[in-house]
Amino acid sequence: MSEAGARVAEVVRRDFSFLERGVAWLDNAATTQRPEPVLAAMDEFSRFHNANVRRGVHRMAAEATAAYEGARAEVARWIGAAAPGEVVFTPGATGAVHLAVEGLVRPGLKAGDEVWATLAEHHSNYLPWVRAAREAGAVLRVVPLRADGRADLEAFRAMAAPGRARWLAATWVSNVTGAENNPAELAEAAHSVGARVLLDATQGVAHGRLDAAASGCDLAVFSGHKMYGPTGVGVLWGRRECLEAMEPVVLGGEMVERVGGDGEEPVWAEVPWRFEAGTPNVAGVVGLGAAVRWLRGLPEGAEAWVRRLAAAARGGVKGVDGVRLRSAEDAGAIVSFTVEGVHPHDVAQALDERNVAVRAGWLCAEPLLRKVVGGPVVRASFAPYNTMDEVEALVEGVRAAREVFGP
């Protein structure tokens, strides 16, 4: 471990109680662990400020609302939103995609329209589009990938029908290969054929600033639990004009300005509150705000350390007989691979017995894995609290799995 990397890991690891279990957590692309400041913020809210937001006039309701809206402002700054009102809190990235598709995309689709999704999409940013296209009589088409795993935008421009192409669903960073698309290039390609773009930023938002307003994207989604925050909370970011045109999907308390008793049309609340019906996950939102503050305070070189760990893991597993890399050579935090003659679940089990946690299987990305890889994979993914010792444990575990289960 380099001296600088050792300092990063040492500083970051102080914030994580889970390390007491002795587990090398290399499943960060599935979910990151939560640092003490996030846990403390959620605990303090639950103990001393627990109240519903935007509806009470007592002091604790005001405190809860201030904490909730303060977290919205934190998230807006982190992703480069033009204003906090462009941030909508949802139950997760999946919920955010559904809100966008059902509230904005689906009502505007008609027979013969095209919606596009890249081959690298997670199921959460693919299946809602499949259903929306089917119900509208539209056509779902798939953007192929280049040899480096990035979306082939030239092919998209050539194939998309101007005037009929409506939306492009595209991931920022693949959860399988780690290949990174440029959000601005995605937006430019979509807009060049008259389409809008929804960016799945879930795998990228913990590793770099999105700069949403400058990206040109129309909508973006991500989840809290992949950026050191809690589960059960996510974000839909949208340009104001998109959110103003979006219909609420979940109706109920506090998302409406006026409800008449004689069947008259209700008047929705202002954006973004019209999309946050009922009692929100206030403690989760507070935790997400704390996660953003924690990310902002990471020591210099933290992301470079993550990339160095991933590069070392790539080099290490490539040296094991029968291993084939399935992730991009320049992937920032993800290393996916297969082991000849050994099922990925067996590799993951062998690693788990050595206290190394990885993901194995289809990774909720079957279109990519079926068409490009031909089957499931093993995925290790890294965060600033990981160490070179854990990389070595990964490599030794893969080697052991090959020796036990291999041909």
Which residues constitute the domain of residue 202? 41-296
Average pLDDT estimate for 97-107: 98
CB contact at 8 A, 22 and 394: no
Q: Do 232 and 265 fall into the same domain? A: yes
Q: Do 75 and 98 fall into the same domain? A: yes
CB contact at 8 A, 372 and 310: no
Question: What pLDDT score does 138 carry?
Answer: 98
Closest CA to 307 of 332, 284, 329: 332
In the chain, the largest separation of any two C-alpha atoms, in whole Å, equals 74
Q: Do 283 and 243 fall into the same domain? A: yes
Torsion of CA 83, 85, 88, 93, to 10 degrees: -10
3-class DSSP assignment, residue 251: coil
Structurally, the chain folds into a number of domains equal to 2
Closest CA to 101 of 140, 131, 138, 139: 131
Q: Do 202 and 332 fall into the same domain? A: no
Q: Do 285 and 316 fall into the same domain? A: no
Question: What pLDDT score does 209 carry?
Answer: 85
Q: Go through the chain and tell me how many residues it has.
A: 407
The CATH number given to whatever domain includes residue 139 is: 3.40.640.10
Q: Do 142 and 287 fall into the same domain? A: yes
Closest CA to 91 of 218, 253, 277: 277
Q: Do 262 and 330 fall into the same domain? A: no
Q: Which pLDDT tens digit goes with each residue over 112-157?
A: 999 999 999 999 999 999 999 999 999 999 999 999 999 999 999 9
Domain end residue (candidates: 243, 277, 296) = 296
Average pLDDT estimate for 171-193: 98
Which of the residues 212, 312, 364, 369 is marked catalytic? 364
Residue 327 lies in a domain: yes
Residue 111 lies in a domain: yes
Domain end residue (candidates: 270, 296, 322) = 296
Half-sphere CA count of 349, side-chain side, radius 13 A: 8
How far is residue 185 CA from its own chain's centroid? 19
First to last CA, the chain: 34
Average pLDDT estimate for 220-247: 98
CB contact at 8 A, 176 and 369: yes
Please state, for a pLDDT cut of 70, what percent of the chain lies above it. 99
Q: Do 177 and 77 fall into the same domain? A: yes
Spatial neighbors of 297 by CB under 8 A, at least 6 apart, are none
Residue 118 lies in a domain: yes
The CATH number given to whatever domain includes residue 310 is: 3.90.1150.10
Question: What pLDDT score does 405 carry?
Answer: 87
Q: Which pLDDT tens digit goes with each residue over 246-269?
A: 999 999 998 999 998 777 889 999
Closest CA to 255 of 232, 279, 285: 279
Residue 35 lies in a domain: no
Average pLDDT estimate for 379-392: 97
Please state, for a pLDDT cut of 90, what percent of the chain lies above it. 94
Question: What pLDDT score does 262 carry?
Answer: 79
Regarding beta strands 165-171 and 196-200, do their DSSP bridges make them parallel or antiparallel, or are they unpaired? parallel
Q: How confident is the model at residue 2 (pLDDT cuts 50, 70, 90)?
A: low
The C-alpha atoms of residue 160 and residue 317 are separated, in whole angstroms, by 39
Domain end residue (candidates: 296, 318, 334) = 296
Question: What pLDDT score does 162 carry?
Answer: 92
Does the pLDDT of residue 106 top 90, yes or no?
yes
Spatial neighbors of 166 by CB under 8 A, at least 6 apart, are 105, 108, 109, 113, 114, 115, 138, 194, 195, 196
The per-residue pLDDT of the chain, averaged, comes to 96
Q: Which pLDDT tens digit goes with each residue over 260-297?
A: 877 788 999 999 999 999 999 999 999 999 999 999 99
Residue 36 lies in a domain: no
The residue behind tokens 């839909």 is 236
Q: Is 242 a catalytic residue?
A: no
Residue 78 lies in a domain: yes
Q: Do 255 and 315 fall into the same domain? A: no
Q: Do 132 and 244 fall into the same domain? A: yes
| Phi-psi domain of 228 (left: phi exceeds 0; alpha: psi -120 through 50; beta: other) | left
Q: For the packed helices 344-352 and 388-405, what is the interaxial angle rounded to 10 degrees? A: 130
Question: What pLDDT score does 261 carry?
Answer: 78
Q: Do 153 and 220 fall into the same domain? A: yes
